[in-house]
Structure 1
Amino acid sequence: MTSPEEALQQARATYEEHARTCRQCHFDAVPCPVSKHLLRAYNNARREQMRANSGVR
């Protein structure tokens, strides 16, 4: 199981890589469904890290 910090870094890297390489996201400036999913995963990882840092479960 990965730590919240590792999950956050991985989700961010995956989202940013997709945004750079996806034709629709990069050139059309319109987020594709995959981009929306990856951003949601990144936001969830960020929330989880904030919970872990605050000690609240």
Structure 2
Amino acid sequence: MSSPEEAVRQARADYEQHMQTCRQCHVDTAPCAVAKHLLRLYNNARRGAPRR
């Protein structure tokens, strides 16, 4: 199982990669449903990670 910090990094990387490769997100500058879901996953991972 990965650490909480690794989960945050992976969620952020997934979101950023999607924003760069998704035609709707990249061209329209409006996030699609998948981007919104990935951002929600990132925010949840960030909230769940221990504070430094």
Same fold (TM over 0.5): yes
TM-score category by the smaller chain? over 0.9
Q: After TM superposition, where is structure 1 displaced by more than 4 Å over at least 4 residues in a row? A: none
Q: Is 1:34 equivalent to 2:34 in the alignment?
A: yes
- Higher CA-based Rg: 1
Instruction: Give TM-score, length-normalised by structure 1.
Output: 0.85
1:2, distance to aligned residue in structure 2 (A): 1.1
Identity between Structure 1 and Structure 2 (%):
65
How many pairs does the alignment contain?
Answer: 52
Q: For structure 2, list consecutive stretches of 5 or more residues without a partner in the other structure.
A: none
Instruction: Give TM-score, length-normalised by structure 2.
Output: 0.93
